[in-house]
């Protein structure tokens, strides 16, 4: 790649800002430049690319087809540059930084509330969390480890089990009372919330409860547990949710557990890290702390104590 061909970051930022506002004047105000400076950078960019990015129509500007396409690609590149810069800046003041990929609901409901304790134990450690929903190649992604749900299979990586899921039926107290839910059979006739990634959950729970129904797959579908739990809290239906995701809601009464019957999934949560790579001290420290927290959570679950 010839670097001389690549426009400067200042030029690309000026173009993105002008395209976002469709105004050189407003772009100049945001970037603390003159309107003439923005116009000059855009003209220079157009000359360099050999295409017109804006069309001047009376007293305003509009993007050409080439301009819209370029904006889409350049915006993504600028966002990547911004994220990379912030990530590097996060190393300031930290002896070592751990880059971890997490599942969104696990990260917000289980991991995040416990991170203060990790920070107290290892005050010099930095931590960057990013969301990843599927396994990836550690050689192509800038991560030291990941939280994975499913089977203990991840190419080129070591998986260490944290805990399995205990999935419980929950709803708001108002929903339970309104529909008169008293037996597992009653759940077959009320609105139920479905998780898109666990399409068999209600069928499995009904089988466990000895309930025969043709309606196990009916109900509104959601992509994440965060969404389905919020819907349940606001009386949209009954939901099957891992117990540790809704401990706070059950304790506060925003949700109630409908029945003691729980669905123990065969899949589990795992801490995953690349095989064959020397484990840095911060990764080893996090791994040991995480396994300890998971072990404590398992013991509390077995004792039926709130976490």
Q: What are the structural domains, with CATH classification, of the chain? A: 3-91 (1.10.10.10), 93-306 (3.40.190.290)
Q: What is the model's pLDDT at position 85?
A: 58
Cβ atoms of 100 and 127 within 8 Å: the answer is yes
Q: What is the model's pLDDT at position 93?
A: 47
Look at residues 297, 260, 273, 285 and name the one whose alpha carbon lies nearest to residue 109: 297
Q: What is the model's pLDDT at position 173?
A: 97
3-state secondary structure (DSSP) of residue 141: coil
Q: What is the model's pLDDT at position 264?
A: 80
Q: What is the DSSP code (8-state) at residue 166? A: E
Q: For the residues of 15-77, what is the DSSP string, one character each?
A: HHHHHHHT-HHHHHHHHT--HHHHHHHHHHHHHHHTS--EEEETTEEEE-HHHHHHHHHHHHH
Look at residues 124, 126, 130 and name the one whose alpha carbon lies nearest to residue 89: 126
Q: What is the model's pLDDT at position 5?
A: 60
Contacts of 166 (CB under 8 A, 6+ apart): 242, 243, 244, 262, 263, 264, 301
Q: Which two tokens stand for residue 26?
A: 């407003």
User: How many CB atoms are located within 10 Å of the residue 148 CB?
Assistant: 26
- Give 10-residue mean pLDDT values along the chain (307 residues): 66 91 92 91 90 88 92 82 60 68 88 91 87 90 92 93 91 97 96 92 95 93 89 96 89 95 86 89 93 88 56
> How far apart are alpha carbons 23 and 252 in whole angstroms?
50
Q: Which two tokens stand for residue 130?
A: 């990013």
Cβ atoms of 104 and 224 within 8 Å: the answer is yes
Q: Report residue 9: phi and psi, to 5°.
A: -60, -40
Q: Which two tokens stand for residue 169?
A: 């039926």
């Amino acid at each position: 790649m010839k670097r001389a061909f690549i426009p400067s970051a200042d030029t690309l930022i000026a173009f993105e800002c002008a395209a976002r506002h469709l105004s050189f004047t407003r772009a100049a105000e945001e970037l603390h430049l003159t309107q003439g400076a923005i116009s000059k950078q855009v003209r220079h960019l157009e000359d360099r690319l050999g295409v017109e990015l804006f069309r001047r129509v009376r007293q305003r500007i509009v993007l050409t087809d080439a301009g819209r396409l370029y904006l889409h690609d350049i915006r993504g590149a600028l966002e990547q540059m911004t994220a990379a810069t912030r990530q590097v800046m996060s190393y300031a003041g930290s002896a070592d930084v751990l880059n971890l990929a997490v599942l969104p609901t696990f990260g917000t409901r289980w991991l995040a509330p416990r991170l203060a304790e990790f920070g107290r134990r290892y005050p010099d450690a930095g931590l960057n969390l990013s969301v990843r929903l599927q396994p990836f190649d550690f050689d192509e992604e800038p991560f030291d480890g990941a939280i994975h749900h499913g089977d203990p299979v991840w190419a080129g990586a070591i998986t260490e089990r944290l805990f399995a899921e205990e999935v419980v039926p929950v709803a708001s107290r108002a929903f339970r009372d309104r529909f008169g839910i008293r037996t597992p059979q009653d759940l077959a006739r009320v609105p139920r919330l479905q998780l898109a990634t666990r399409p068999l959950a209600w069928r499995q729970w009904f089988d466990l409860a000895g309930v025969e129904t043709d309606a196990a797959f009916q109900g509104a579908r959601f992509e994440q547990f965060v969404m389905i739990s919020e819907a349940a809290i606001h009386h949209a239906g009954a939901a099957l949710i891992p117990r540790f995701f809704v401990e706070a809601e059950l304790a506060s009464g925003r949700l109630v557990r409908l029945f003691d019957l729980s669905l123990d999934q065969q899949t589990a949560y795992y801490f995953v890290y690349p095989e064959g790579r020397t484990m840095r001290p911060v990764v080893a420290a996090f791994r040991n702390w995480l396994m300890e927290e998971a072990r404590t959570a398992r013991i509390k679950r077995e004792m039926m104590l709130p976490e």
